[in-house]
Amino acid sequence: MLASMGATEDNAWRRLIAGQKPVNATGRSTRADLLAVATVVAVVTGAVGWAIDLGWLAGAGLAAGILLAGMSAARLVAEARAREAERVRLTEQLITAEQDERRRLSVFLHDGPLSSMSGIALMHDAALAALADGRHEDAARVIETSLEREREIIRTLRDLTFAMEPLVLRDHGFGAAIDALREQIERAHRVTVSTSVEAAESIGDKAQVALYQIVREALNQAVRRRPGRIDVGVAEQADGSFLVELSDDGVEERRRASIEAIEERVRILNGRLTIETGEHGGTVLRVVVPAYVAAPAR
């Protein structure tokens, strides 16, 4: 710092340090000498103040860094807890949906095919008894009736296996599976079913299976409302999600159990379900499948 000073300031500074009064060549103080001393003091004071300011700024920066690091760590912990809570929620939903599906399957088999098989076994006993008594015509009529019921059970079980996961879905895609389901519904219930599901072909395989189950369940619920026509459509939305819409012109849906059956399947996809009355009556069902669920596996 002294090296940067002029001769006058340097001389005044040295005399001030030595405790002597700044003087000129005649031994008297001059305004220039006093101005030089003032300049030196200002420079020294400014340098010290600058050093203090730098120290304060460094300390403040360190404190701010520690604070930001603490906030970032707290945010990461909160996000990790939120992800864990979401994982637990989705796992519980999946387990609940699987349990409900097994319960429905058990009730269906018990009240349907098993009960029918028990009745057929009793009919066989009756036919054997008729044969033993020589009542051959009665035995033949009973056997004919039992054969019709056995064929009906075979059709029911075939439809059940097709509904659980149709081979056509795996081998030929979503559109072909929906077409087969449409033909089955039209043949069994004498209702017109219109489908437009080409957009669903770009959905991942696992999501397609779950979506097929939703459409199948929705169709089965729709035919119970006795419509003349059912329309099914799938469309991709701007955000990458998929909208599934099923509408019919039957009576308005009022059965809560029917809605819950579809809700359980929608929860597996973490989707959204809305059911409302159509503009001209009937029922409109909409399901939105999130983009990250519908995306094909990589």
DSSP the chain: -GGGS-HHHHHHHHHHHTTPPP--TTS---HHHHHHHHHHHHHHHHHHHHHHHHHHHHHHHHHHHHHHHHHHHHHHHHHHHHHHHHHHHHHHHHHHHHHHHHHHHHHHHIIIIIHHHHHHHHHHHHHHHHHHTT-HHHHHHHHHHHHHHHHHHHHHHHHHHHHHS-HHHHHH-HHHHHHHHHHHHHHHH--EEEEE-GGGGGS-HHHHHHHHHHHHHHHHHHHTT--SEEEEEEEE-TTS-EEEEEEESSSPP--HHHHHHHHHHHHHTT-EEEEEE-BTBSEEEEEEE-HHHHSPP-
Q: Is residue 121 part of a domain?
A: no
Q: Is residue 134 part of a domain?
A: no
pTM above 0.75?
A: no
Q: Is residue 107 part of a domain?
A: no
**38-73: pLDDT as tens digits:** 554 454 445 445 444 555 555 666 666 677 777 777
Residues 71 and 172 in one domain: no
Residues 183 and 294 in one domain: yes
Least confident of 14-23, 52-61, 115-124, 148-157: 14-23
Residue ending a domain, choose from 77, 101, 129: 77
Residue ending a domain, choose from 77, 100, 122: 77
Name the token pair of 217.
């369940």
Q: Is residue 110 part of a domain?
A: no
Q: Is residue 140 part of a domain?
A: no
Residue 190 sits in a domain of what CATH number? 3.30.565.10
> Whole-angstrom Cα distance, residue 39 to residue 154?
110
State which residues form the domain around 245. 167-298
Residues 64 and 183 in one domain: no
Burial 89-122 (b: 16+ CB within 10 A, else e): eeeeeeeebeeebeeeeeeeeeeebeeeeeebee
**134-187: pLDDT as tens digits:** 999 999 999 999 999 999 888 888 777 766 667 788 888 999 999 988 998 998
Residues 68 and 175 in one domain: no
Q: Is residue 173 part of a domain?
A: yes
Name the token pair of 186.
């039209």
Q: Is residue 145 part of a domain?
A: no
Q: Is residue 70 part of a domain?
A: yes
Q: What is the mean pLDDT of residues 17-28?
A: 48
Residue ending a domain, choose from 26, 51, 77: 77
Question: What is the tally of structural domains in the chain?
Answer: 2
**227-273: pLDDT as tens digits:** 999 999 999 999 999 999 999 998 877 776 677 778 888 887 889 99
